A and B are shown apart, each in its own frame.
Chain A
Amino acid sequence: MGRRVVVLAVVLLQVGFVARAYWSDHKEFGFQMFPESSTWRADVVRVTADGRRIPVEVPWSGYRWEELVRDRGLSYPQFRHHADAGLDNQLAFLDAALDWVAGNTPRDRETRYLEARVTAWHNADRPQVRVLRSRVREGAG
């Protein structure tokens, strides 16, 4: 009885994960290998309280973007990259990275939020432009 439950649970979970991968950004346990040839690039800027838009390639308050965001192909967003696990996955990571940087740069007292203007090429489709924003930082400026 116990074995039966464990085996059926694992099988159902696996089937569920495979199905869920068709709508989930990160597709955990969905095993969709090399799903897309999509590429992307982004202009990521810090928007300060006085309205300036400063590219994150310029170090600020002792921070460097590529040191804050090392993983998932996000270190140099200004260059066009392959979206390894698909565009949705890549842009979900970029979106989360903007929030993480906004929330983990305490020496920065001027940035209100970070913004990424993303150009994305889904496979052979025409490029699409999307804007992602971090949460607004309290007390900036």
Chain B
Amino acid sequence: MNAAALGVQRRAGGALAAFDALLARPVSMRALQLLRVLAGPAVLLHLQPFLSASLDGRIYSDSFYEPYAAWYPELPEAVYIGLLWLAAVAAVAMTIGVFSRVATATAFGIVAYNLFLSTTHFHNNRAYLVIVLGLLAVAPLGRETGPGWPLWLLRFECSAVYFASAFSKLVDPDWFGGTVTWQRVVHAKADLDAWILPDWAVSLLTDRSFHTGAAKLIVLTELFIAIGLWWPRTRYAAVWVAVIFHLTIEASASVQVFSYLAVCVLVVWAVPSTRDRVLRLDAASARHRRLGAAVRALDWLARFRVEQGAPGSALEVVDRDGSKMRGGSAVAFALSRLPLTAWFALPALLLPAVRRGRRA
């Protein structure tokens, strides 16, 4: 082997070693633990039509269905219904944290089994749910930290969903040119008229030229979410846009558990480390105490250490890079890092006064 070939082999070996190190890197499991809690209701919502049909004495095989493969096992009706209810119990256990690892694996197994029973069961939101449950099932969520690979894979899947959707629209002239959205609105005009929209809004939404631009905006939004999530500088904006995007979809289309699940999955983009920011309060101040209590209650990703500052001191947040914020800037920053308040607080970080409040 010559020197050049040896060099290539050494570089490839180095890249593989770096890849392995990335997969094994210990990261906080907080985001995945939170996602498991939030995924329980998604499983219940997903199961609801199947359980409801079973209560009426019907299961999938009582009407048209199409197995993916002849060899795929189909269970007796009573066992199948029993499994659905077991999955519902597992979903509750996932959320309340009882036998959570077994519960997550059980929910994953049953939801996946049910999905692959028939082509008619397949919907994108159910596929996404199976992926999320599968990765939650293999992650060591009983520990504070674990290897990073399930988290990286979930990030990849999250981004892939937006990218696949955006790309399919980008390469379809009917979609990118606005024909698809325009026609959808025109076909649903009766529903639109039933809404409490003013006439000018209905007129705008049914205007063909409006959709020439709107379709491109939709595609670019999906692309921005898919790509923007990967970079720290654009991540918060991508998350913020993604929430609006899903709320808009939820208001305008029937997508089963997709909106809820997709918004929940966004927590996996939080930096997987804990207690690396400090919130310093004056215990004598009622306002500080209230904020401290709110942060302790809502800091589901364990971003902050709450410490007592000197008496009479201003409220202070120390970010993980050591930069400090005080007063209103600190409040806005703290709220922007809590899952429940982040969407509302993030725009405040763009205010000049808040930006000026950050000191290295």
Contact = CB atoms under 8 A, between A and B. Distances in A.
B323 interface: no
A70 interface: yes
Given A6-B149, A34-B184, A28 B127 contact: yes
A18 B120 contact: no
A79 interface: no
Interface string B16-37: 1001100110000000000000
A107 interface: no
Interface stretch (B59-67, B81-89, B352-360): B59-67
Contacts of A3: 20, 23-24, 147, 149
Contacts of A96: 64, 66, 119
Contacts of A23: none
A9 to B, nearest CB: 10
Interface residues of B, number: 40
Interface stretch (A35-43, A45-53, A54-62): A35-43
Interface string A1-33: 101101100110011001001100010111111
B344 interface: no
Contacts of B181: 37
Contacts of B51: none
Contacts of A36: 174, 180
A69 B164 contact: no
B9 to A, nearest CB: 17
Given A11-B156, A28-B127, A37 B184 contact: yes
B232 to A, nearest CB: 22
Given A7-B152, A26-B122, A31-B127, A123 B164 contact: no
Contacts of B120: 71-72, 93
A111 B164 CA distance: 44
Given A7-B152, A33-B124, A96-B66, A124 B168 contact: no
B179 A123 contact: yes
Nearest to A37: B183
A31 B149 contact: no
A69 to B, nearest CB: 4
Contact of B172 (A18, A35, A82): A35
B209 to A, nearest CB: 15
Contact of A124 (B64, B119, B169, B174): B174
Interface string B159-188: 011001101110010110001111110010
Contacts of B167: 18
Nearest to A1: B20
A39 B66 CA distance: 22
B153 interface: yes
A136 interface: no
B19 A4 contact: yes
A108 to B, nearest CB: 15
Given A18-B164, A69-B64, A124-B179, A4 B20 contact: yes
Contacts of A22: 168
B197 to A, nearest CB: 20
Nearest to A101: B64
A15 to B, nearest CB: 8
Given A82-B187, A124-B183, A32 B168 contact: yes
Contacts of A30: 164, 168
A118 to B, nearest CB: 16
B167 to A, nearest CB: 8
A34 B23 contact: no
Contact of B156 (A14, A28, A35): A14
Of the listed residues B20, B120, B147, the one surrounded by the most CB atoms of chain A closer than 10 A to its CB is: B120
A116 interface: no
Contacts of A100: 64-66
Given A26-B119, A31-B165, A34-B253, 20 more contacts: A6-B149, A7-B23, A7-B149, A7-B152, A10-B153, A18-B160, A28-B122, A29-B127, A30-B164, A31-B124, A31-B160, A31-B168, A32-B168, A35-B169, A35-B175, A35-B180, A37-B181, A37-B187, A96-B119, A124-B174
Shortest 7 CB-CB contacts between residues of A and residues of B: A37-B183, A31-B164, A32-B168, A69-B64, A33-B165, A70-B63, A37-B180
